Amino acid sequence: MLIMRVMKRNNSRSHCGVWVLVLLFCLQWFGSARARVSYDDKAFIINGRRRILISGSIHYPRSTPQMWPDLIQKAKDGGLDVIQTYVFWNGHEPSPGQYNFEGRYDLVHFIKLVQQAGLYVHLRIGPYVCAEWNFGGFPVWLKYIPGMEFRTDNEPFKAAMQGFVEKIVNMMKSEKLFEPLGGPIIMNQIENEYGPVEWAIGEPGKRYTQWFSKMALGLNTGVPWIMCKQEDTPYPIIDTCNGFYCENFRPNNPSNPKMFTELWTGWYTEFGGPVHVRSAEDTAFAVARFIQNNGSFFNYYMYHGGTNFDRTAGRFIATSYDYDAPLDEYGLPNEPKYGHLTELHKVIKQAEQALVSSYPTVTWLGKNQEAHVFSSKSGPCALFLSNYDPQYSATITFWNKQYVLPPWSVSILPDCKTLAFNTATVTSRSSEPRMINTGSRFYWQSYTEEVISADQSDTFAANVLWEQVNVTRDSSDYLWYTTDVYIASNEGFLKSGKDPILTVMSAGHALQVFINGKPWGNAYGSLENPRLTYSANVKLNAGNNKISLLSASVGLANVGTHYESWSTGVLGPVTLSGLNEGTRDLKYQKWSYKVGLSGESKNLNTLGGISSVEWVQGLFLAKEQPLTWYQATFDAPGGNEPLALDMSSMGKGRIWVNGEGVGRYWTKNTARGSCSKCGYAGTYTATKCETNCGQPSQTWYHVPRSWLKRSGNVLVVFEEWGGDVTGIRLVSRTRT
Ligand code: GAL
C-alpha cells in the first residue's frame, strides 16, 4: 500500500523502478528475518516442521580442514541432523585485536561445509567453553587486563566478552550463516555450564547472568539461544542438560523443548589417567531413555573428539581427545558404537511424527519396567518398552503381546507394532583399532640444550619466586628458575658424606632439577592434584653451586570457579636441609629466570630455524639425555590411512611435523586407574570402564596426512627427560 501511494505521487518510470527495488528488498528482508526457527514444549520447529534433532559435536580445530568433509559426511551417514561446535576464542584471537580465522580456525569454512552436506549447526559461542581446552578457551592475555575477573559481573571482562561475541555474530551474519538468512545455524549458546559457578559466587554471578542473557538476545541472530546446566535461564533462552543421562531433566519453563546438549559418549584422557570407554549399548540406552521421556534434541559430546594439537590441551589433558566417540580420533568409525547409533537414529526418525505430535503415556509394567506410548489422533504411534534392571532380563506383556527385554535396555517399536531396535542388542560388527608399522625410516640428528644457570646473560633476576604464567604469559610451557648456593668449606656434610636434602614445592605441573648442570631428578603432579614436591639428597661442593629448576606447565586449567587465579610454577618453599645451620630457606635469595627453551627461541621446531644450531648424528646421537632436540626427514608412506607416531620409547616432550605442532607427548607417565572388567549394564560414570592401566596414557600421536609431502618431511621432537629416539615409529591406523 505504501508503495502504491508513492507511485501515484511520482509518475516517472525511474522513480517507479526504484520503489519496486525497495519493495523487493523489504520483502526479502522481512521474509528472511521472520523467525523460521522456533520451538514449543515438544520440539524445535524449523520452517513449520517440528523436529526431533539428532546432533553431534565436532570441534573444528581438533581436526584439519582436509578431514572436515569426510567427518561431516560420516556424521550425516550416521543419521545426524546437526553438528555442534564451540567457538575457540584463544585460537581466534591469539593476541589482542589480532585475529586468526585460517586453517583449523576457519570457522566460516567449517560451517559452510556443514551446510553443503545439508546439516544444521548449533554454535556454542561461549566464549567460555571448558572443553578440556587450554584456559577454557580464554586467551591468556585476557587475564592481564587490569581489574580482570573472569565470568562474573566485572566490567573489563564483560566488555571483552561482548566484543568477541559480537565479532562472531557479525561474522555469521555477514556470511549469511544464521538460518533465517539462509544459513545452517539454527541455535546458539551463550556461556557454558554457568549454573554451578553462579551458585558458588552468588549475587555478582546472578547479575552477570542477567547481563549476558540480555547481551546475547540483543544481537538479534534470529535463532534461539540456549544455556546449558543453568536453572535460572531467563526467558526466552532455553536451559538444557549435560551428562551421561538426562531423561529426568525438566526445563525451567514448561513451554521449552527438553534438550540434552552434551550426552557424553565416553570421557577425556588425562596424562597419568586411564582411557575411558562407554559401551554402544549404554550410549544408545541413554538416548532412548531421553527420547521416550519427551526429549526433543540430543547431542553426542563428542561425535568426533579428535586431537588437541600443539598446546591447545587443558591442564594435564592428553593430546588425544578421542573420547571413545562414534568416530575415533583419526576419523574412522568406532564400531560397534557408530553403527549401533546409526541404527537407533533410523528408528527415531521412523518414530519422529509420533514423537512430535503427542506426549508419552507411561504404564508401569513391573518394578523396573515401563511402556511409553506416543500416539495421537492423527495416526502415528510409537512405543518404547524399557527395562532398567541392571542384571535381569524381563518378559513383559503389553497390548496382549509378549516381549523379552534384555537387562538395562529399551526396545523401540516406531509404529507401535514392529520391534525395530533394542538398545542392548548390537548387530553392528565391532572393529578393533590397529597400529601398523609403516616401516618409514628416520635418520636422526640431535642437539642437546645447555642447562641454564643464574649467571647467564639472557636471564633476569628477582629476590622472589614468581608465578610461572605471570612470567611466561603462556608463550612457552617452560620456565627456568635458577639460583646459586654457596657452601662453606666447613660444612659438616662435606666430611660426613651425608648429602643435604633439597626440597622444592611447586604449584605444578612438572619439574626437572639440575645440580651444577647435571640432571638430578624430576617430579610431577596430576589433574586431581597439580602440585608437586621434589625432595632428594643433592651433591654439593664447597664453594658456589648452581641449582637449576626447569618448571613445565602442561596446559592451563579449563574449569573451576575463578580458575584464572590459580597458580603454576615454583612458588616455594625451596629449602636445603642438613647444613651446619640446619635448614636454609632459598625462597628469598636471588633467583634468575629464563622463559622457554633456547631451542624454542632459535625456532628449532620450524623449517626456517632448524639449521641455526649444529646437529650431531651417528655415534654422537644423544640417547636418554634430557633437554634434547631431535630431527629427522622422512618420506610419506603410501596409501591414505591415517598416521601416528608411536612414542613409547620416549619420556616427555613435544612433537612437530613440517613446523606443525602435533602436541605434547608424555609416555613416561603411566595410567593410574582400576581397569577391572566392566559390563554395559548399570549406571555409567566416568570411572566405570577404564582401560590402559599401567600403560602410558597415550602412546600414539596423530600426524594428519595433509601435513605431509611425498618426501622430505621434517619431524622434530623435543625430549625433556630422556628417551630412545631410535624407537619412534610411524604407524598407520586401521580398524578391522
Ligand atoms: C562439560 C563441559 C564440556 C566438557 C565436558 C567434559 O561439563 O561443558 O565442555 O568439558 O564437561 O568433557
Q: Is the dihedral of CA 289, 291, 295, 300 positive or negative?
A: positive
Q: Is 262 in the pocket of ligand 1 (CB under 6 A)?
A: yes
Rounded distance, CA 522 to CA 199, Å? 39
- 549 has pLDDT over 50: yes
Q: Give pLDDT, residue 431.
A: 92
Give the pLDDT confidence of 344-385 residue by residue, as tens digits.
999 999 999 999 999 999 999 999 999 999 998 878 999 999
Residue 102 lies in a domain: yes
Question: Pick from 290, 316, 332: which residue ends a domain?
Answer: 332
Q: Give pLDDT, residue 456.
A: 85
Residue 660 lies in a domain: yes
Residue 14 lies in a domain: no
Rounded distance, CA 581 to CA 584, Å? 7
Looking at ligand 1, which atom is closest to the CA of residue 228?
8
20 falls in which pLDDT band (50, 70, 90)? Answer: very low
- Say yes or no: 205 and 268 in one domain: yes
- Say yes or no: 486 and 579 in one domain: yes
- 23 has pLDDT over 50: no
Looking at ligand 1, which atom is closest to the CA of residue 193?
8
Q: Could you check whether the bond before residue 336 is cis, i.e. omega within 30 degrees of 0?
A: yes
Q: Give pLDDT, residue 455.
A: 84
**Could you tell which of 259, 301, 558 is best to mutate to test the pocket of ligand 1, judged by most ligand atoms within 8 Å of the CB?**
301
**Could you tell which of 227, 559, 684 is best to mutate to test the pocket of ligand 1, judged by most ligand atoms within 8 Å of the CB?**
559
- Say yes or no: 250 and 141 in one domain: yes
Give the pLDDT confidence of 204-220 residue by residue, as tens digits.
999 999 999 999 999 99
Residue 211 lies in a domain: yes
Name the residues annotated as catalytic. Answer: 193, 262
DSSP 181: G
- 6 has pLDDT over 90: no
> Which domain does 204 fall in, by range?
52-332
Q: Give pLDDT, residue 377.
A: 80
- 290 has pLDDT over 50: yes
Give the pLDDT confidence of 564-623 residue by residue, as tens digits.
999 999 999 999 999 999 999 999 999 999 999 999 999 999 989 999 999 999 999 999
Residue 377 to residues 39, 212, 257, 353, 358, Cα–Cα distance (Å): 22, 43, 22, 12, 9
What distance in angstroms lies between residue 87's CA and the mean position of ligand 1's atoms?
A: 14
- Say yes or no: 248 and 397 in one domain: no
Q: Give pLDDT, residue 633.
A: 97
- Residue found by looking up cell 528488498 in the block: 25
Q: Give pLDDT, residue 353.
A: 96
Mean pLDDT of 186-211: 98
534 Cβ neighbours under 8 A, 6+ residues apart: 502, 503, 504, 506, 511, 513, 521, 522, 523
Rounded distance, CA 105 to CA 94, Å? 11
393 falls in which pLDDT band (50, 70, 90)? Answer: very high
CATH number of the domain encompassing residue 606:
2.60.120
Give the pLDDT confidence of 618-647 residue by residue, as tens digits.
999 999 999 999 999 999 999 999 999 999
Q: Give pLDDT, residue 688.
A: 96
- Say yes or no: 351 and 319 in one domain: no
Residue pair 452/548 in contact by the 8 Å Cβ criterion: yes
Q: Which three cell numbers stand for residue 591?
A: 633467583
Mean per-residue pLDDT over the chain, rounded? 94
- Say yes or no: 626 and 561 in one domain: no
Residue 38 lies in a domain: no
Residue pair 603/612 in contact by the 8 Å Cβ criterion: yes
CATH number of the domain encompassing residue 519:
2.60.120.260
What distance in angstroms lies between residue 4's CA and the mean position of ligand 1's atoms?
A: 57
Residue 256 lies in a domain: yes
Rounded distance, CA 631 to CA 602, Å? 14
- Say yes or no: 592 and 677 in one domain: no
Give the pLDDT confidence of 486-522 residue by residue, as tens digits.
999 999 999 999 999 999 999 999 999 999 999 999 9
**Could you tell which of 134, 262, 316 is best to mutate to test the pocket of ligand 1, judged by most ligand atoms within 8 Å of the CB?**
262
Q: Is 196 in the pocket of ligand 1 (CB under 6 A)?
A: no
- 397 has pLDDT over 50: yes
Q: Whose CA is nearest to atom 5 of ligand 1?
A: 131
Mean pLDDT of 21-37: 49
Q: Which three cell numbers stand for residue 563?
A: 580458575
Rounded distance, CA 678 to CA 426, Å? 17
Q: Whose CA is nearest to atom 11 of ligand 1?
A: 131
Q: Is 131 in the pocket of ligand 1 (CB under 6 A)?
A: yes
- 452 has pLDDT over 60: yes
For the chain, percent of residues with pLDDT exceeding 70: 95
- 7 has pLDDT over 80: no
Question: Pick from 398, 429, 460: which residue ends a domain?
Answer: 429
Amino acid identity at 624 = E
Q: Give pLDDT, residue 152.
A: 98
Q: Is 242 in the pocket of ligand 1 (CB under 6 A)?
A: yes
Q: Which three cell numbers stand for residue 649?
A: 620409547
Q: Which three cell numbers stand for residue 544?
A: 658456589
- Say yes or no: 635 and 589 in one domain: no
Residue 633 lies in a domain: yes
Residue pair 375/369 in contact by the 8 Å Cβ criterion: no
- Say yes or no: 286 and 343 in one domain: no
CATH number of the domain encompassing residue 280:
3.20.20.80
Q: Provide the 10 A C-beta neighbour count for residue 543.
A: 10
Residue 221 to residues 151, 172, 193, 245, Cα–Cα distance (Å): 23, 9, 21, 30
Residue pair 257/41 in contact by the 8 Å Cβ criterion: yes
- Say yes or no: 535 and 488 in one domain: yes
Q: Give pLDDT, residue 487.
A: 98
Q: How many domains does the chain have?
A: 4
Largest CA distance in the chain: 113
- 232 has pLDDT over 50: yes
Q: Is 268 in the pocket of ligand 1 (CB under 6 A)?
A: yes
Q: Which three cell numbers stand for residue 97?
A: 585485536
What distance in angstroms lies between residue 321's CA and the mean position of ligand 1's atoms?
A: 12
What distance in angstroms lies between residue 264's CA and the mean position of ligand 1's atoms?
A: 9
Mean pLDDT of 247-251: 97
Residue 25 lies in a domain: no
Q: Give pLDDT, residue 29.
A: 39
- Say yes or no: 506 and 653 in one domain: no
Can you tell me whether residue 391 is helix, strand or coil?
coil
Can you tell me whether residue 157 is helix, strand or coil?
helix
Question: Pick from 332, 359, 377: which residue ends a domain?
Answer: 332
DSSP lists the bridge partners of residue 645 as: 701, 730
- 8 has pLDDT over 70: no
- Say yes or no: 251 and 308 in one domain: yes
What distance in angstroms lies between residue 644's CA and the mean position of ligand 1's atoms?
A: 26
DSSP lists the bridge partners of residue 700 as: 646
Give the pLDDT confidence of 37-72 residue by residue, as tens digits.
999 999 999 999 999 999 999 999 999 999 999 999
What distance in angstroms lies between residue 137's CA and the mean position of ligand 1's atoms?
A: 12
- SS3 of 295-309: the string is EEEEEEEEEECCECC
Q: Give pLDDT, residue 35.
A: 53
Rounded distance, CA 512 to CA 480, Å? 10
Q: Is 269 in the pocket of ligand 1 (CB under 6 A)?
A: no
